[in-house]
Every structure is written in structure tokens, then in C-alpha cells.
Amino acid sequence: MTAAPHDISLPASLLRTLPGTAYADPDVFALEQERIFERMWICAVRGADLPGPGSFRTVQIGRESVLVVRTREGGIRAFLNACRHRGAQLCAEDSGEVKRTFRCPYHAWTYALDGSLVAAPNLAKMPDIDRVEYGLLKVHVREWLGYVWICLADEPPPFERDVIGAAVERLGNAEAIEHYDTGQLTVGRRITYDVKANWKLVIENFMECYHCSTIHPELVSVLPEFAKGYAAQYYVGHGAEFGGAVEGFTVDGRPGVSRIPGVTEDQDRRYYAITVKPQVFINLVPDHVIVHRMFPVTADRTLVECDWLFLPEVVASGTDLDASVELFHRVNVQDFAACERCQPTMTSRSYAKGGVLVPSEHHIAAFHQWHRAMLES
Ligand code: FES
Ligand SMILES: [Fe+2]
């Protein structure tokens, strides 16, 4: 990606952000839903949240409700959550379990877990109806890091490039993330945050650490280099090192829980952060992984689902996870409050041309260029 042309009305140290309207205008939001969220790979559901055949979740991706289900064979399928007869939403619940089929509550068209139409009143009298063609509309599914990723595009972009590639690009090599064995970890805690801010403010905030010393006292005492304002994401392959007296990635630096066995000596006592556009943050520390998934609701509201993942035996043993969870929970609350503080200004005349990025935030300009390119595509 080439650098943004420098705005000659600005001093060389500064780059422009997107204009305020990009964060507040419902028309921009609608275009983002269509051209970003309905075209890219979206991290939708933790696989373990679909424990057995017939377990399902519904999730909003772009403008679509998507039904994600565990099949009888143990795989995962995803469909548009819409009955093919006259369009009733098939599942109104966020999650649940069916025995063998989904039955539309309107006229009882009934679909198997593979999406095919298996029954309908008088179906025998309509032998020309193809049960696959009138089955639920399938969308693309991949599993990675223990999550179900969904793409609504007819032709999905390469998963290896867009999703795995983001981790490789950040960490500098393909194996580094595998050491954390994220797919085998267990959700020890999940917190959903209802953030009254545009999803891009949340991403931009995550990408920089210029704010760390102002709003994250606990994080900076665990990762003292963050006080300098350079995020782990500023450098390829860099993990922020724990402070000398810090024993674990916990709210007060006390020891954490058992280290993930695959984590190498190089990765020990370090924090790595990855952004997978458009809606995932992955945070790696030696004894747990924190995954944020963002679900934009409106231009000024974003739900953020945050999972703290630990070794299964750590969770099963009932080990107290509070000190580990509390550190990033506080970071989240501090970050989201900052994003919410910015949101009202996005419609102010003062922000009509946007704000500015200082040098330690310049890498965010690449995100803005990507955003512009996606909306024009
Ligand atoms: S709309 Fe679903 S069966 Fe008629
Ligand atoms: Fe932050």
C-alpha cells in the first residue's frame, strides 16, 4: 500500500484522519455494510458455542441475519436466516438447539441442518420443487483459531491473504500465532460491550498507543514501554515487554495462570496485538489470548464481544481468572469511554475535515486508505 499523499496544508508531522462524516453519516455506514462487512471474512461465532448437532447461533453480518449451525456430521454450515417460501425469519433467537430441522413458524416449511428443504405442507403435491434449490441460501464458512468465520460474498476474498495474512504481517512469520494454540483454548470469560461509537473509532483506538499513558495506568505499569506512545502494532514482529517486576499479564502484575505450552521463550513475557480488518483484534500474552469481535449496529453504535481464552485445564480447575481478566476489561472500558467521547464531535463543524494523526499514529493512515479504497470498490 502506498503512503497517503501528504496534505500540504498540514505540518509534515501530521496526517489527516477521515472527515467526521465518515464516522457518523448513515449513508457511509450503509455503504460500509455493503462493501466491507458483506464482502469480507467476518469472525462470527466461537466454535465451542455450537457444542453439538443442531446447536445454532444467529448473527448479524452487514444487513443480513445469518444462521450458523452444527451439522449432524459435526461440521459447521451457515445460511441466510430467511425462509425461502415467503421470507419469514427462520430463527428469532440468538442461540439455541434444534433436534433435526428448522421449521418456519409461518407455513411450516422445514429445513434440515444442511439447509435442504425436507418438508412443507402439501410438498408431495409439488414434485417439481427442487429441495436443494429451495433450501436455505448458504454462505461461506471457514474455521480458524477456534472461531467460525463467515463471508457473504459470492466469491470470497482469499482467507489466507486477508485473515491469516493479517497475523503473519503483524507477527512477522506464519508460525508465531500457532504457538498459542488458540483453537484449543477455552473461553474463561466473555464480556459484551455496547459502545456508543463508530466501529472505526474503536479500530483506530486499538491501533495506537499515544493514549496509553493518559488513560491506561494499569496497562502501562505492566507494559512500561507503552508510556512512550508506540503501540505494539507500530513495529512488525514486536511484542511489548512486561516490566521487570511484573510477574504476569494481570491487573496488578501478580502472577497469571499456567503458560500456554507452545509459547516460545521469545514470546514469553510479551504482549502482541493484531488487527484483522474489519472487525477482529487478537491479543496474545503467554498464558491467555484475548479476542475482540466487533459488530457495528449503527453509525454511532458498535457491540464488542470480548473473549478471554485460557488453557482448558485452567478453566476446568476453577482457577481464579479475575486478575487476568480485570486488566484488559479495564483497558476496554477506558478505550470505549474514549471512543464515546469522540463520537459526538464527529458531526461538529470543528471536525468537518477530520482530525490529525501524530507520527506514532501515522500507521492509521493506511487503515484510512484501505477504507476509502473499499468504499470505492
Ligand atoms: S414464510 Fe416460511 S413457510 Fe411460509
Ligand atoms: Fe487503549
Cell output for 232: 505494539
88 band by pLDDT with thresholds 50, 70 and 90: very high
214 CA to centre of ligand 2 in angstroms: 9
Q: Is the pLDDT of residue 317 over 90?
A: yes
Which ligand 1 atom is at minimum distance from the Cα of 108? 3
Which ligand is nearest the CA of 331, by number?
2
54 CA to centre of ligand 1 in angstroms: 20
Distance between CA 242 and CA 271 in Å, rounded? 8
| 39-70 per-position pLDDT tens digit | 999 999 999 999 999 999 999 999 999 999 99
The per-residue pLDDT for 315 is 98
Cell output for 79: 445460511
Q: Which residue has the cell 408431495?
A: 124
Query: In a mutational test of the pocket of ligand 1, which residue from 67, 103, 107, 126 has the highest number of ligand atoms less than 8 Å from its CB?
Result: 107
| 209-255 per-position pLDDT tens digit | 999 999 999 999 999 999 988 776 667 888 999 999 999 999 999 99
Chain centroid to Cα 32, Å, comes to 15
The per-residue pLDDT for 230 is 77
Which ligand is nearest the CA of 339, by number?
2
4 CA to centre of ligand 1 in angstroms: 51
| 248-282 per-position pLDDT tens digit | 999 999 999 999 999 999 999 999 999 999 999 99
CATH of domain 42-151: 2.102.10.10
31 CA to centre of ligand 1 in angstroms: 30
Closest CA to 40 of 161, 172, 173, 182: 161
Q: Which of 1-10, 178-187, 304-313 has the lowest mean pLDDT?
A: 1-10
* Residue minimizing CA distance to atom 3 of ligand 1: 107
Which ligand 1 atom is at minimum distance from the Cα of 88? 1
Mapping DSSP onto H, E and C, the string for the chain reads CCCCCCCCCCCCCCEECCCHHHHCCHHHHHHHHHHHHCCCCEEEEEHHHCCCCCEEEEEEECCEEEEEEECCCCCEEEEECECCCCCCECCCCCEEECCCEEECCCCCCEEECCCCEEECCCHHHCCCCCCCCCCCCEEEEEEECCEEEEECCCCCCCHHHHHHHHHHHHHCCCCHHHHHCHHHCEEEEEEEEEECCCHHHHHHHHHCCCCHHHHCHHHHHHCHHHHHCCCHHHCCCCCEECCCCCCCCCCCCCCCCCCCCCCCCCCCCEEEEEEECCCEEEEEECCEEEEEEEEEEECCEEEEEEEEEECHHHHHCCCCCHHHHHHHHHHHHHHHHHHHHHHHHHHCHHHCCCCEECHHHCCHHHHHHHHHHHHHC
Which ligand is nearest the CA of 111, by number?
1
Distance between CA 298 and CA 196 in Å, rounded? 9
Residues with CB under 6 A from ligand 1: 83, 85-88, 104, 106-109
273 CA to centre of ligand 2 in angstroms: 12
Asked if the domains 15-39+181-376 and 42-151 are classified in one and the same CATH topology, the answer is no
Distance between CA 274 and CA 336 in Å, rounded? 18
90 CA to centre of ligand 1 in angstroms: 8
Which ligand 1 atom is at minimum distance from the Cα of 104? 2
Q: Is the pLDDT of residue 1 over 50?
A: no
The per-residue pLDDT for 341 is 98
Distance between CA 275 and CA 344 in Å, rounded? 25
Query: In a mutational test of the pocket of ligand 1, which residue from 79, 81, 85 has the highest number of ligand atoms less than 8 Å from its CB?
Result: 85
| 321-341 per-position pLDDT tens digit | 999 999 999 999 999 999 999
Best CATH choice for the domain 15-39+181-376 from the list 2.60.40.3080, 3.40.50.2000, 3.90.550.10, 3.90.380.10: 3.90.380.10
* Residue minimizing CA distance to atom 1 of ligand 1: 86
* Residue minimizing CA distance to atom 4 of ligand 1: 107
Task: Kindly report whether the global pTM for this prediction surpasses the value 0.85.
Answer: yes
Domain ranges in the chain are 15-39+181-376, 42-151
Which ligand 1 atom is at minimum distance from the Cα of 109? 3
Q: Which residue has the cell 470470497?
A: 156
320 band by pLDDT with thresholds 50, 70 and 90: very high
